[in-house]
Structure 1
Amino acid sequence: MVEVKFQQPIDRVVTIGLLSSLCIVSNYAMLPLWNVKLMDTIVFVSGFLYGLHAGMAVAAISWFVYGILNPYGFSLPTLLAVITGEMLYALSGSLAKRKFSMTNGPGFLSAQNLAFGVVGLFSTLAYDVLTNAVAGWLFYGSVMYGLLTMNFPIPMGIIHEASNFFLFAFLAPVAINSVKRSGFQSALKRGRKEGLRNVI
């Protein structure tokens, strides 16, 4: 198990805030790429490294801000659906850390990379089924219609699932290793001590 422990409550707040900000910024930056999002991978990594509750907080904060301030408009029921769906990635990350004590295999193309990709694929499929079913029921009065429009006439669901397969397989292990090796929590602790010295 590789969950990173927070030394102080403020560390949790800072980390969740930074990861949520990264999700929001990446969503705006990737708007031209239909249904390709870094946010899902970031939420997964959050759940993997910091636990289910931290990952869920990142998912909720990110979608709360982006879901209200986005060019596609705002709908409260849809927002609640995507927040719930996004939390599936936090759950996947939290469960994955129980299975994988190491964050990647001996090579860039390893069984563990493939496993992360498969986790991303099925997590995304669950997200897409949930959110499209809710959208179909809300706007068309038909869950089935919502599921059919997931990939027709434009295969938005397939794009989302395929892109997340590769992002989870290759980016997530790199991100997890980078955080572990960077001493991020140590940096937070040093920054807190320096802040106290400045106050004194």
Structure 2
Amino acid sequence: MVQNVHWFQVCADTDTSVLQDYEGTMWLPETLAWLEPFLPGWRMLVVGVPAAVLYSGAAAALAGWLRSHCKVRVPYTRKVFHFTIMSAAGVAHLAWGLPGVVILGSVTALLMILAVVKGSGFPFYEAMARPSDAPHRTLFILIPLTTTALGGVLANLLFSPFAPIGYMVTGWGDAVGEPAGTRWGKHRYRVPSLAGVTATRSLEGSGAVFVA
């Protein structure tokens, strides 16, 4: 009996750090310690992942519905999704910190990859893929996804206290720019692009980004 009590006491003492790791973030080797601020604890995962799935799924469904049923043009449906997700990222960061943003961003990225896998005809894919980007419509979904993720990582590594401001500037400014340029853009200019796709912007759209 004494041995059992002693064994239990030792386990309780030695498992404290393990429990703390589960409560907080997973253990990382020293070379990867810079990743620690990005990692959510298991409790946040349990609550945050379903919430992110519901929110991001609703935003994707809205964009897909606007495109497939209401025939709203892609510049608008694309930015509706962008606006809702980036705004939520700012709120998530202020409310739950960087791990909350990581959960939202990861779920959103998986939804976008699912749309790419489904391809043409899938409502969410059609809401995100510009006809003008053909035949590289998928490429111009994946590139912004990648650069947005990298921008978020760098913003938090270099300017962590101000990262939510970056989310809002990106989410609101970029979301306003393309629809404004599509609707009112008269003075167009060409910009560098990948894969040989002709890309233009307008002074009106760029001005809307600046004002936002």
TM-score range, shorter chain: 0.3 to 0.5
Larger radius of gyration: 2
